[in-house]
Amino acid sequence: MSETDRISELEGLSYFIDLDWFQESGRSFTVVVEHCLCLACKERLASEPEAMTSTSLIMNIRDCCSKASGFISPELPLLEKIFRLFLSNGDRSLSLAELIAQLSLYLDSPTSLSPQTIRRLLDNDQCYGFCRKP
Ligand SMILES: [Zn+2]
């Protein structure tokens, strides 16, 4: 396989936030996602937590909180930016190429992003539930 083939194969790998992972590892998706909410949605979550399932939280962030300017700010750690990108896309699966294209809008030096780097980050993550699409 040529180098170009390898890179395009890598770029084609798709990831998503696996809600089952949170369940299986006994973690709360709500806790991880709460700080991504805008003020109004935080208050809504606090007042009616049972109405906010993981899926409805994601849809909510896609349609509301992610529209606020600064939702993905340059100061955020790279993994947090990636997490928020998935949320703003409603957690549809994104290929590494799509991720890098979207991420580069929020980085000073997008050239530092290679599909290898992003794949390693996503595969090693133990916090955000990133999962490779089979
Ligand atoms: Zn909101």
Q: Give 21-36 pLDDT, tens digit per residue.
A: 999 999 999 999 999 9
Q: How far is the CA of 134 from the centre of ligand 1 (A)?
A: 31
Q: How far is the CA of 47 from the centre of ligand 1 (A)?
A: 14
The model carries a pTM of 0.93
Q: Give 85-107 pLDDT, tens digit per residue.
A: 999 999 999 999 999 999 988 88
Q: Which residues contact 74 (CB under 8 A, 6 or more apart)?
A: 106, 107, 108
Q: Give 6-60 pLDDT, tens digit per residue.
A: 888 999 999 999 999 999 999 999 999 999 999 999 999 999 988 889 999 999 9
Q: What is the mean pLDDT of the chain?
A: 93
Q: Is the pLDDT of residue 70 over 70?
A: yes
Total tally of structural domains belonging to the chain: 1
Residues surrounding ion ligand 1 at CB below 5 Å: 38, 41, 64-65
Query: Contacts from 75-80 at CB under 8 Å and sequence distance 24+?
Result: 78/103, 78/121, 79/121, 79/125, 79/127, 79/128
Q: How far is the CA of 124 from the centre of ligand 1 (A)?
A: 29
Name the band, by pLDDT with cuts 50, 70 and 90, for residue 111: low
Which range marks the domain in which residue 73 is found?
Answer: 3-132
pLDDT, position 110: 61
Q: How far is the CA of 113 from the centre of ligand 1 (A)?
A: 29
